[in-house]
């Protein structure tokens, strides 16, 4: 599970950096908006639930 966690964290770091450096959305998700952030949080929760159940 450590590898899965590492991949998830790497993705989160990348998305964070991308949202700070670019003004355009990533895959249609605007991470500078609360709705985009919530969409990512929801997806992360689903990934974690799949991995640990």
Overall domain count for the chain: 1
| 31: nearest Cα among 13, 45, 47 | 13
**pLDDT value for 23:** 82
- To 5 degrees, how large is the angle CA 35–CA 15–CA 24? 65
Residues of the domain holding 48: 2-22+29-52
- To 5 degrees, how large is the angle CA 19–CA 25–CA 21? 30
- List pLDDT tens digits, range 14-35: 999 999 998 889 999 999 999 9
Average pLDDT, the chain: 91
**pLDDT value for 53:** 79
């Amino acid at each position: 599970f450590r590898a899965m966690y590492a991949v998830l964290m790497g993705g989160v770091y990348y998305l964070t950096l991308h949202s700070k450096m670019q003004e355009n959305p990533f895959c249609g998700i605007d991470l500078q908006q609360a709705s985009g952030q919530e969409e990512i949080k929801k997806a992360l929760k689903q990934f974690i639930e799949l991995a640990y159940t």
